[in-house]
A and B are shown apart, each in its own frame.
Chain A
């Protein structure tokens, strides 16, 4: 199950659409880390709205992904963690430390716009 990665201006948007195996998650991590360089992206959004489980492996892989992308000079925000998924994560002690999260895609874009602006980058905005 491959996750489609959409390039939009300076951002990459990966929308998870179905349950992912461990291998799929690692593939997504590597693809994003590579494409941030290829497209000279400033920010990455991973939309996990469709995920009904975020276990320790998924959580660790997303955290690694965000940290690797930061090392590549871009910002990552995870959007769409569902309430029951958040509850299970907290029960399990998973915190996604050091990773930006936002309610949904819209909030995630806003976060990246703010974040990359303070990095001194002009993001073109279309109304």
Chain B
């Protein structure tokens, strides 16, 4: 239960690996098919942000349990340039990606929990979680 997977993100095939692992873990937790797609898509978006803006980083995937509920927790972290205006990055814009084009509002909609910590010059950590219905 306590095991966690760490996937290093440094090229585009790592994105595929990360989302497949996320899907596997979510399937083990027992999520329905629809949620597997949501989790995999969210991981895909976050790992692409790592690659695009920080060049490298990692995705941590672990099973989660809280007050009897089971779920999946994913942490996307990098030591890249960070986001100067996190508020703006979370704004839903008119374009498909919205906000700053990081797709973060979309990722937030896909998951049950979403938290971002970012400081200019010291990287970004996004933590997302989804609970089994």
Contacts and interface: CB of A to CB of B under 8 A. Distances in A.
Q: Report whether chain A binds chain B.
A: yes
B74 interface: no
Interface stretch (B1-9, B13-21, B56-64): B13-21
A44 interface: no
A124 interface: no
B64 to A, nearest CB: 20
Nearest to B45: A55
A91 B110 contact: yes
Contact of B20 (A19, A20, A56, A85): A19
Contacts of A23: 12
Listed residue (B34, B45, B48, B92) with the most chain A CB atoms within 10 angstroms of its CB: B34
Contacts of B13: 21
Contacts of B33: 84
Categorize the interface residue count of chain B. Answer: 20 to 34
Contact of B41 (A19, A54, A95, A97): A54
Interface string A69-106: 00000000000001111011101111101000000000
B36 A55 contact: no
A57 interface: yes
Contacts of B76: none
Contact of B98 (A83, A88, A93, A97): A93
A88 B37 contact: yes
Contacts of B77: none
Interface string A45-70: 00000001111110110000000000
Listed residue (A57, A59, A93) with the most chain B CB atoms within 10 angstroms of its CB: A93
Interface of B: 12-13, 15-16, 19-20, 23, 33-34, 36-38, 40-41, 44-45, 48, 92, 96-98, 103, 105-107, 109-110
Interface of A: 19-23, 52-57, 59-60, 82-85, 87-89, 91-95, 97
